[in-house]
Amino acid sequence: MRTSPEPSPTTYLMLTPGSPESYAVAGQPADVVVIDLQRAEQRLGAVIALLSGRQPGRRQERWVGLRPAHSPGYEAELDAIADLGDGLIIPGIEDVGTLHRIARRRPGTPLIPVIDSVRALTLAPSLARHPSVVRLGLTTVASSTELTDGMLTLDNTVAWAHRLVAAASTAAGLPGPVGGLHSGLSDPDTVFADAELAARCGFTGYCVNTTSLLARACDLFPSRFLEGIAEGPTEESGDGRGLTLQPT
For the entire predicted model, the pTM comes to 0.82
Give which of 9, 14, 52 is closest to 226, Cα–Cα: 9
Domains of the chain, start order: 11-53+60-245 (3.20.20.60)
Amino acid at 144: S
> Per-residue confidence of the chain (248 residues) as pLDDT tens digits?
454 445 445 666 666 665 555 545 555 666 777 777 776 655 666 667 666 765 555 567 788 888 888 888 788 888 877 778 888 999 999 999 999 999 998 899 999 999 988 899 999 999 999 999 999 999 876 555 666 666 777 788 888 889 999 999 999 999 999 887 776 777 888 888 888 999 899 998 887 766 777 667 777 777 665 554 434 433 344 445 444 445 44
Rounded Cα distance between 243 and 13, Å, is 8
Give Cβ neighbours of residue 21 (< 8 Å, ≥ 6 apart). 13, 15, 28, 211, 247
Cβ-contact 161, 121 below 8 angstroms: yes
- Write the DSSP string, 121-150: HHHHHHHHTSTTB---EE-HHHHHHHH--S
Give which of 101, 78, 91, 103 is closest to 1, Cα–Cα: 103
